[in-house]
Amino acid sequence: MAFWQFTRLKFVYPVILLILFFLDGTLMSALGGYFTHFPFHILPMLTFVWLFFGIQFKVYQDIPFWWYVLLIGVMFDAYYTGIFGTYIIAFLLGTLIMKQLHYWLDERIIAGLLLLLIGIVVYLIITYFAGFIIGIANISLLNFLIYQLVPTVILNVFIGAIFYYPTWSFFQVLN
Amino acid sequence: MRRIFSSRSVVVAMVVFLVVVGLITGSNWFAKRTNTPPFLQRFSNDLAGGASRILAAPTNAIGRSANSIGNLLSTFEENKKLKSEVDQFAQDKVRLQTVEEENKSLKQQLKLKATLTDYQTVSAVTISRSPTTWQSQLVIDKGTNSGLKKGMPVLAGSGIIGRISEVNTTNAKVALISDTSDSANRFAITVKGDDGDVNGIVTSFNREKNQLIMGQVTSDNKIKKGDLIQTSGLGGVIPSGLFVGKVASVAKDDYGLTKKIYIEPAADLGNITTVMVAVSKMGDN
């Protein structure tokens, strides 16, 4: 394999996806004092933001995107929770809804961020209800919305906004 | 108008939903019953732990500097308060050493090898923390190769923060006490009240108040706000004498028959960079 192939999207996209998967966990640990400052519970969702970029910039058509989503879901469950199912479905459904709604929205950044917002809300709501299935949910829906969903959405949409144009240019270069 | 989902997608979605619910309940059931995960999961977790470790170094450094900036603002006030407390600690330390010596010689006279208060600690570094809605778990850099086992208590800062929930070869997961799953915080504790001890177990965690709950307390011994709570050692796996927290309030349960004690945990569950796993020596006997 020639060196130039390593700079192709097919190679770069999953590698960054994997790095962000670990970065989410280490960020949560390193900045835990801020992210879980009582009563807040904010989640860094860089992996999900990267998947959003994949959809928004139509990269998913050129790579085995859905296999990556599935794999990240399985890894997330194995490594972070130890219980399979929740994050597989959260990642799959979150990205699937973003992809379906992408037809309806235009290419402007604001439409893209709305897409990301909807994706994150779907993702978080799925994880919230999955907690009920195994009886570990110990927070009311209202508190979940105020202290977790809203700040998490704000943080990650903000991250999405900052990296929107750099990522777009990055994909242009790779293509 | 373009339809968002076709009818085929709806059927697929329903099947996927059923499979996933099955998966969640099945793997939850399986995880509770086994001490170590299946080989493939253990292997991939060890691999993932290695990758996390590489990334943890720079991110932890960023986290440390962010925390130091935050701490700097409250340093002056804190320093004044701490100085006054330090003198007291020096006295307590001397007293503790004398009592420990005495305790050791008395144990020898009684020919006791190890009791509930004897435990060793294994220090570990947090390499990751699950960015998840529930099951806030830490991944620490010690596993079966350092003698860790599922269920062992984990300490950080001033008190207990959780228990080991899964052990891989080179890393382990710690379920925090703020997690309501059965394996995380159901441990035996004692309230050191004025009238004597009150024994019980932690029954749940109130995430909205950030407090542990010790339910179904029937003892008439008086318990007041500020009373200290430690692990009682009953049950065997968790040694006795680990600091849990202080009584925040005492309330009647829903039926008015028993008491419910709210506990302010001693440890800060937000900032956990290094932890200690307490390994009871009782098993060596």
DSSP string over B149-210 = -TT-EEEETTEEEEEEEEE-SS-EEEEETT--SHHHH--EEEEEETTEEEEEEEEEEETTTT
Domain ranges of chain B: 1-33, 42-285
Query: Is B134 within 8 Å of A131 when comparing Cβ atoms?
Result: yes
A90 at B interface, C-beta within 8 A: no
In this predicted structure, the answer to whether residue B71 has a pLDDT above a threshold of 80 is no
Q: What is the mean pLDDT of residues B225-249?
A: 86
Q: What is the mean pLDDT of residues B138-144?
A: 90
Is there a contact between A136 and B17 if contact means CB atoms under 8 Å apart? no
Higher pLDDT, B6 or B273: B273
Residue B2 has pLDDT above 90, yes or no: no
Q: Exposed, middle or buried, B51 (CB in 10 Å: 0-12/13-18/19+)?
A: middle
Highest-pLDDT range among A4-18, A82-96, A134-148: A82-96
Tell if the CB–CB gap between B131 and A24 is shorter than 8 Å.
Answer: yes
Partner residue facing A26 (CB), from B2, B55, B166: B55
Cβ of B137 within 8 Å of Cβ of A80? The answer is yes
Of A19, A28, A104, Cβ closest to residue B131: A28
Mean pLDDT for B122-135 is: 88
pLDDT score recorded for residue B216: 82
B51 lies within 8 A of chain A by CB: yes
Task: Please answer yes or no on whether A138 and B180 come within 8 Å at the CB atom.
Answer: yes
Task: Write the CA distances from B197 to B203, B230, B263, integer angstroms.
Answer: 18, 10, 15
Map tokens 């109130």 to a residue. Answer: B206
**Are B48 and A41 a contacting pair at CB < 8 A?**
no
A19 chain-B contacts, CB cut-off 8 A: 55
Q: Cβ separation of B128 and A22 shorter than 8 Å?
A: yes
Kindly state the average pLDDT of the residues A124-144: 84
Residues B246/B263, Cβ–Cβ less than 8 Å = yes
C-beta atoms surrounding A118 within 10 Å: 16
| Rounded CA separation A133/A86 (Å) | 10
Mean pLDDT, residues B141-168 taken together: 88
A158 confidence band (pLDDT: 50, 70, 90) = very high
Report whether pLDDT(A1) > 80: no
Mean pLDDT of B96-117: 81
| pLDDT for A111 | 92
What average pLDDT does the segment B101-119 reach?
Answer: 79
How far is the CA of B109 from the CAs of A136, B106, B113, B285, in angstroms? 48, 5, 10, 17
Question: Is the confidence at residue B228, as pLDDT, over 80?
Answer: yes
pLDDT (0 to 100) of residue B285: 41
What is d(CA B198, CA B31) in angstroms, rounded to the nearest whole number?
Answer: 32
Residue A175 has pLDDT above 80, yes or no: no
List Cβ<8 Å contacts ≥24 apart for A70-73: A72/A17, A72/A21, A72/A47
Q: What are the distances in angstroms from CA B75 to CA A113, B82, B89?
A: 40, 10, 20
SS (H, E, C) chain A: CCHHHHHCHHHHHHHHHHHHHHHHHHHHHHCHHHHCCCCCCCCCCHHHHHHHHHHHCCHHHCCCHHHHHHHHHHHHHHHHHCCCCHHHHHHHHHHHHHHHHHCCCCCCHHHHHHHHHHHHHHHHHHHHHHHHHCCCCCCCHHHHHHHHHHHHHHHHHHHHHHHHHHHHHHHHHHC
The minimum CA-CA distance between B20 and chain A, rounded to whole Å, is 5
Arithmetic mean of pLDDT, B163-187: 82
Token pair 């005492």 is found at B250
Which of the residue ranges A41-50, A123-132, B102-111 has the most confident prediction, judged by mean pLDDT?
A41-50
Calculate what percentage of chain A has a pLDDT beyond 90: 55
Provide mean pLDDT across the span B183-212. 83
Q: Does A139 touch chain B (CB under 8 A)?
A: yes
A118, pLDDT greater than 90: yes
The minimum CA-CA distance between B217 and chain A, rounded to whole Å, is 21
Q: Which of residues 40-69 of A touch B (CB under 8 A)?
A: 41, 43-45
Interface size, chain A vs chain B, as Cβ–Cβ contacts under 8 Å: 181
Give the pLDDT score at A5.
59
Looking at per-residue confidence, does A2 or A37 come out higher? A37
Q: Report the percentage of chain B scoring pLDDT > 70.
A: 93
Q: So what's the pLDDT on residue B158?
A: 78
As a CATH number, domain B42-285 is: 2.40.10.350
Among the listed residues A65, A83, A44, the one whose alpha carbon sits nearest the alpha carbon of residue B62? A44
CA distance A41 to chain B (A): 8
* Mean pLDDT calculated for residue range A97-116: 90
What pLDDT does A67 receive? 94
Q: Is the pLDDT of residue B44 over 60?
A: yes
Is residue A4 scored above 80 in pLDDT?
Answer: no
Mean pLDDT over residues B151-171, rounded? 88
Share of chain B above pLDDT 90, in %: 4
Output the pLDDT for position A160. Answer: 95
Q: Given a cut of 50, is residue B165 above it in pLDDT?
A: yes
Interface check B36 vs A, CB under 8 A: no
DSSP for chain B reads ---SS-HHHHHHHHHHHHHHHHHHHHHHHHHHH-SS--HHHHHHHHHHHHHHHHHHHHHHHHHHHHHHHHHHHHHHHHHHHHHHHHHHHHHHHHHHHHHHHHHHHHHHHTT----TT-EEEEEEEEEEE---SS--EEEES--GGGT--TT-EEEETTEEEEEEEEE-SS-EEEEETT--SHHHH--EEEEEETTEEEEEEEEEEETTTTEEEEEEE---S---TT-EEEE--TTSSSPTT-EEEEEEEEEE-TTSSSEEEEEEESS-SS--SEEEEEEESGGG-
C-beta separation of B188 from B196 below 8 A? no
Average pLDDT over residues A71-75: 92
Nearest CA in chain B to A127: B133
Phi, psi at residue B89, to the nearest 5°? -65, -35
Rounded to the nearest angstrom, the minimum Cα separation between A165 and chain B is 24
Find, in chain A, the residue whose alpha carbon is nearest to that of B71: A33
Whole-number pLDDT of residue B33: 77
A172 in reach of chain B (CB within 8 A) = no
Mean pLDDT over all residues of chain B? 83
Contact state of B21 with A103 under an 8 Å Cβ cutoff: no
Does pLDDT of A151 surpass 90? yes
ipTM confidence score: 0.87
| pLDDT score recorded for residue B4 | 64
Chain A CB within 8 Å of residue B60 CB: yes
For residues B275 and B16, what is the distance between their CA atoms, to the nearest angstrom?
39
Contacts of A140 in chain B (CB under 8 A): 208
Instruction: Flag whether residue A38 sits within 8 Å of chain B, measured between CB atoms.
Output: yes
What does residue B276 show for φ and ψ, rounded to 5 degrees? Answer: -125, 130
Of A79, A101, A130, the CB nearest to B45: A79
* B248: contact with A, CB 8 A cutoff: no
